[in-house]
Structure 1
């Protein structure tokens, strides 16, 4: 078991209200315990998204493509603070300004590892230029690439098993937030 598996996560109800805490390892055992998480989407000025391929040693959905980074706030920690910690650890960047674009509640079982994701996911958006230096930790990240959001939507439909199961819902929150901003004139 990795050290990260012993960290505490905040258990929540379906409305995101804290109801307790447990370890990462316990939260991800069958049947899965609903807990707080975050997913970071990093956008370039031209609108492309940074994807990471999860490292082979990940205990949940290894080698699948996912958003720039994700993780779990410690009990009482804000998703934004935890996300900036993980951006530094996984990609060697930060801190950066992150904006919440929504939440996404999902449950997914990983047939390869027997682990479960059951998360109340805070979807966070940040900006990063494609030429900003990235220092991915090989224990966390196998590869990185920039993609167009609409191309990613098509790829998710065509070959969903190449991607983390939460990526479609996270991307949907980003695109929905962008459409709402356009409808309101960017206000």
Structure 2
């Protein structure tokens, strides 16, 4: 990926405000911007966890959900999820399922760098093994969803701050992630409705 990749800036209601270079927005005063999180499952209901590469600007070396990223200006979130899954994990997804259309969070690292994202959450199901891109991913692990969710909910797993906030909301959708009902696309923030 190029270092001049743009992200979409949004207001608190999810309306687009313009764009900014990705490298300039992750700082001590990060503006709210559009992103996504995805949880990849296999046919047995195991979730793919990833450890962020050690050289990442935000939360390096931290375990998190399968894949996160930012849609390019004019790119649908579905396309962005599939693009990043291919780039980061070598996975080809046929479709994505919207789970949490309006998830948003703000988290501050010990060094003061802030993540501040309007970050809809998606489920993806795959049949193939992941092939991690070392520029993005340090390692991967498959874990039964029940075990993972209970570990996060009980504070037993060290996980990224956004994942720690997403898992309780996902757990409320039901015990079996393969049967979660998708959210309607019209519940996405305006900046994400392409």
TM over 0.5: yes
SS of 1:59's partner is coil
Name 2:104's counterpart in structure 1: 105
Work out the number of aligned pairs and report it. 177
CA RMSD across the alignment: 2.3
1:169 to 141, 165, 171: 165
Mapped partners of 2:82, 2:132: distance in 1: 14
Give the counterpart of 2:83 among 85, 90, 105: 85
- Normalising by the residue count of structure 1, what TM-score does the alignment of the two structures yield? 0.85
Task: Report how far residue 14 of structure 1 moved.
Answer: 1.8
| Residue 155 of structure 2 corresponds to residue 158 of structure 1 | yes
What secondary structure sits across from 1:97 in the alignment? coil
Mark the CA change 1:98 to 1:115 in structure 2 (over 3 Å): closer, same or farther.
same
> 1:172 Cα shift?
3.1
Kindly tell me: are residues 43 and 95 of structure 1, through their superposed partners in 2, closer, same or farther at Cα, counting changes over 3 Å?
Answer: closer
Indicate the SS of the match to 1:81: helix
Equivalence for 2:11: 13
SS of the residue 2:106 aligns to: strand
SS in 2 for 1:40: strand
Q: 1:77-104: CA deviations, max 9, x gaps?
A: 1111111111111011113310111131
Corresponding residue number in structure 1 for 2:184: none
Partner residue, 1:59: 57
Instruction: Give yes or no for contact 1:104–1:169 (8 Å, CA) kept in 2.
Output: no
In structure 1, the gaps of 5 or more residues are none
Q: TM-score, normalised by structure 2?
A: 0.82
Cα shift readout 1:125-175 (whole Å, capped 9, x = no counterpart): 11023xx13211111111111112332233334356x31110022223433
Gaps of 5+ in 2: 182-194
Q: Tell me, in whole angstroms, the C-alpha distance in 2 between the residues paired with 1:183 and 1:9.
A: 29
The within-5 A match list for 1:5-154 is: 6-102=4-100, 103-112=102-111, 114-129=112-127, 132-154=128-150
